Amino acid sequence: MENDHRKSKPTLSNAKPAARSWVGVKFVLLIFVVVSMIAAAFLGRNLAVYGSVWGSGEAGNRINILLVGIDDGDVSNPKTSPHRSDSMLLMGVHKSTGGVSLLSIPRDTRVAIPGHSSADKFGHSFAYGGVELTIATIQDFLKIPVHYYVVADWQGFIRIVDALGGVDLHVEADMRYEDPYANLKIDLKKGFQHLNGHQAGQYVRFRHDEMGDIGRVARQQKFLKALATQAIRPGNLIRIPQILAIVRESVQTNMTPWTFQQVFVAIPSLKGNQIQSDMIPGNFANIGGVSYWAPDRTETAKVVNRLFVAPPGTKPDDGEKK
C-alpha cells in the first residue's frame, strides 16, 4: 500500500513559505522558443542527417513536451532546501498543422504520485523524484505520453526578458502587493508600457485581486503570447550568444539541438490563433486540513482529448461518437 508522504516528508508540508511563482513556466516556454531559434540558426533546415523525431499516423504527428518551472526553495537557504515544481505546462505540437496546445497544471492539483502517495499535491512529485517522477505522475494522471521535458528555474526569467530588450504590454489594472518573507514587491501602474525583466516578473506573479489564480493564469497567457512573438523576431538573432549563456545556466532538458529545431520548424509562428490553451478543470477543496485543486476527472479527460488526442479541428462531440 502506498504511504502518504505528507507524514514521511515533513520538510515539504511544514517548510517555510518559499518564494514561488508561476513565472517559471513562462520562462521555460520562452527558453524553448529561444533555444529552438538558436538551433534553427546554427543547424539550418537540413534534418536528414539527424533523423526525425516524428512518427507515423496521427499519434506520430504529435510531440508532447513537459515544461517545468521550479521554485527556489526556502529563500533563506535556497541552495540546500528542496525544490518543487512551481508551475507546470504540457505543450503539444502538431506537425501537420503547426498548432500548439498548452495545458496548465496547478501545482496543488490532487493526484496520485506513483510509488509515494495515492493522494498528494502534484507539485511535490518533483521534490520526491525529480523530473522523472513528475513525468510518471503526469502520464498516470492524463493517460498520454510525455516525450520530452524542459526544466528551468525562474531566476533566469528576468535575465532573458532583459536580454530580449523587454516586452510591450498593456497592464490592465494597478497592481500592488508586498511579501518581505518571499522577497517579493509588486508595484505596477495601469496602462500600456514597456516592461523590463523585474517588471515582467511582477506582472506574471500578481494574483491578489478578486480573480486570484484564475486571473493570474489569464495574465500569464497574455504575457506569454506577447513575449513569444517578440522572442522570434529576426532582430533578436544578434542576442543569441548572451541568451545562450543564460540558457546553459538555467535549463535542464533531454532535447538535443536538432530536436529543438525539428519542433521549431514544425511551428510556422506563435500567433495567438495557433495556440490553444486551457487548464485542468476542477475546484478548490480542503481535504484533511490540506488545500488542494481537486480535478474534475470527466472534464479533464475531455480537455486532454481536445488538446492532445483528437485531430486538429475536431469538434468536442466528434471524439465521443462511436
pLDDT tens track for 278-321: 889 999 899 999 989 999 999 999 999 999 988 766 665 554 44
Q: In 3D, which of 10, 64, 75, 51 has the Cα closest to residue 258?
A: 51
**175-201: average pLDDT:** 85
**pLDDT number for residue 24:** 47
**261-272: average pLDDT:** 65
Q: Which residues does 215 contact at the CB level (< 8 Å), separation at least 6? A: 207, 209
Q: How many CB atoms lie within 10 A of CB 190?
A: 11
Cell of 234: 529576426
Of the two residues 192 and 183, the one the predictor is more confident about is 192
pLDDT band at 2 (very low <50, low <70, confident <90, very high): very low
**pLDDT number for residue 215:** 74
**pLDDT number for residue 220:** 74
Q: Which domains does the chain have, with CATH numbers?
A: 5-166+221-307 (3.30.420.590)
Of the two residues 86 and 180, the one the predictor is more confident about is 180
Termini Cα distance of the chain: 37
Of the two residues 66 and 14, the one the predictor is more confident about is 66
Q: Judge contact between 121 and 292, C-beta under 8 A.
A: yes
Using the predicted structure, report yes or no on whether residue 26 has a pLDDT greater than 70. no
Q: How many CB atoms lie within 10 A of CB 40?
A: 19
Q: Which amino acid does the sequence have at 114?
A: P
Highest mean pLDDT among 15-19, 34-38, 180-184, 281-285: 281-285
pLDDT over 90, % of the chain? 27
How far from 185 is each of 44, 208, 211, 236, CA to CA, in Å? 43, 12, 19, 29
pLDDT band at 33 (very low <50, low <70, confident <90, very high): low
pLDDT over 70, % of the chain? 67
**pLDDT number for residue 112:** 97
Using the predicted structure, report yes or no on whether residue 12 has a pLDDT greater than 50. no
Alpha carbon distance 261, 269 (integer Å): 13
The 10s digit of each residue's pLDDT in 200-253 is: 888 887 877 766 666 776 787 788 778 777 776 777 778 777 877 887 787 788
Using the predicted structure, report yes or no on whether residue 15 has a pLDDT greater than 60. no
What is the sign, positive or negative, of the torsion defined by CA atoms of 102, 107, 109, 110?
Answer: positive
How far from 16 is each of 13, 73, 79, 81, 291, CA to CA, in Å? 9, 9, 15, 10, 16
The 10s digit of each residue's pLDDT in 142-152 is: 999 999 998 87
Burial 213-252 (b: 16+ CB within 10 A, else e): bebbbebbbbbbebbbebbbeeebeeebeebeebbeebbe
Of the two residues 169 and 54, the one the predictor is more confident about is 169
**63-90: average pLDDT:** 67
**pLDDT number for residue 208:** 77
Quick one: residue 108, left, alpha or beta (phi over 0 = left, psi -120 to 50 = alpha)?
A: alpha
Q: Which residue in this structure is represented by grid cell 476542477?
A: 282
Using the predicted structure, report yes or no on whether residue 163 has a pLDDT greater than 60. yes
Alpha carbon distance 317, 322 (integer Å): 10
**pLDDT number for residue 235:** 76
Q: Judge contact between 163 and 246, C-beta under 8 A.
A: yes
Rg (CA), the chain: 19
Q: With 0.85 as the threshold, say if the pTM is over it.
A: no
Alpha carbon distance 123, 111 (integer Å): 10
